[in-house]
């Protein structure tokens, strides 16, 4: 196991914006397409929440986080790629942990593990999905077996 690099310093990100739209007439395939486009355009996070709208219609609230300078680009995507007639957005602050990446050797190869540090101490640890997925496919092993071995090795670090 070796430390790769420190991703970023712990900090308060003050120029963030949360954007929300309620959608009651859009397919899951479209939502996936929109999510991909928003990430490609620089969204930091995109997520959906099931909701009930007026007349008790089931719908989806699409929410995203981005930098203030990306708002116009995000709204352009939302108005062109979804069925929304309105967008809500408001500023917010995000406290970000510093991130450290280490490699964990498994039976099938190396897996990258992300660590979140708060005041210099590791408080979050998680295997990187893409790293695990690639090993699972390459070795024809269930993804959960990769994760189980990585979590076992992580627990030995403590």
Select from 73, 18, 9, 78 the least CA-distant residue to 44: 18
Q: What is the pLDDT of residues 58-103, one digit of tens each?
A: 999 999 999 999 999 999 999 999 999 999 999 998 888 999 999 9
What pLDDT score was predicted for residue 60?
96
What pLDDT score was predicted for residue 31?
96
What pLDDT score was predicted for residue 50?
96
User: 3 pLDDT exceeds 50?
Assistant: no
Q: What is the pLDDT of residues 43-67, one digit of tens each?
A: 999 999 999 999 999 999 999 999 9
Least confident of 1-15, 26-40, 118-132: 1-15
User: 6 pLDDT exceeds 50?
Assistant: no
State mean pLDDT over 127-131: 96
Q: Residues with Cβ < 8 Å from 45, sequence gap 6 or more?
A: 64, 65
Sheet holding 11-23, edge to edge: 45-52, 58-67, 11-23, 88-96
What pLDDT score was predicted for residue 8?
67
What pLDDT score was predicted for residue 12?
78
What pLDDT score was predicted for residue 4?
40
Residue-range domains of the chain with CATH: 13-95 (3.30.70.1380), 97-157 (3.10.20.300)
% of the chain residues with pLDDT over 90: 81
Residues in the chain: 158
State mean pLDDT over 106-121: 94
User: 5 pLDDT exceeds 90?
Assistant: no
Task: DSSP for the chain, please give it.
Answer: --EEEE----EEEEEEEEEEEEESS--HHHHHHHHHHHHHTT-SEEEEEEEE-GGG-EEEEEEEEEEGGGHHHHHHHHHHHS--S--EEEEEEEEE-EEEEEEEEETTEEEEEEEEEETTEEEEEEE-HHHHHHHHHHHT--HHHHHHHHHHHHHHH-
């Amino acid at each position: 196991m070796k430390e790769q690099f420190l991703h970023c310093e712990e900090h308060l990100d003050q120029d963030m914006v949360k954007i929300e739209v309620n959608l009651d007439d859009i397919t899951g395939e479209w939502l996936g397409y929109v999510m991909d486009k928003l990430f490609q355009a620089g969204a930091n996070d995109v997520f959906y929440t099931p909701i009930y709208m007026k007349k008790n219609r089931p719908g989806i609230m699409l929410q995203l986080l981005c930098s203030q300078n990306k708002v116009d680009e995000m709204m352009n995507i939302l108005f062109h790629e979804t069925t929304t007639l309105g967008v809500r957005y408001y500023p917010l602050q995000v406290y970000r942990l510093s991130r450290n990446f280490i490699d964990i050797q498994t039976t099938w190869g190396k897996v990258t593990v992300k660590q979140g540090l708060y005041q210099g101490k590791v408080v979050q640890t998680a295997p990187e999905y893409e790293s695990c997925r690639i090993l699972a496919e390459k070795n024809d092993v269930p993804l959960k077996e990769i994760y189980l071995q990585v979590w076992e090795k992580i627990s030995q670090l403590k």
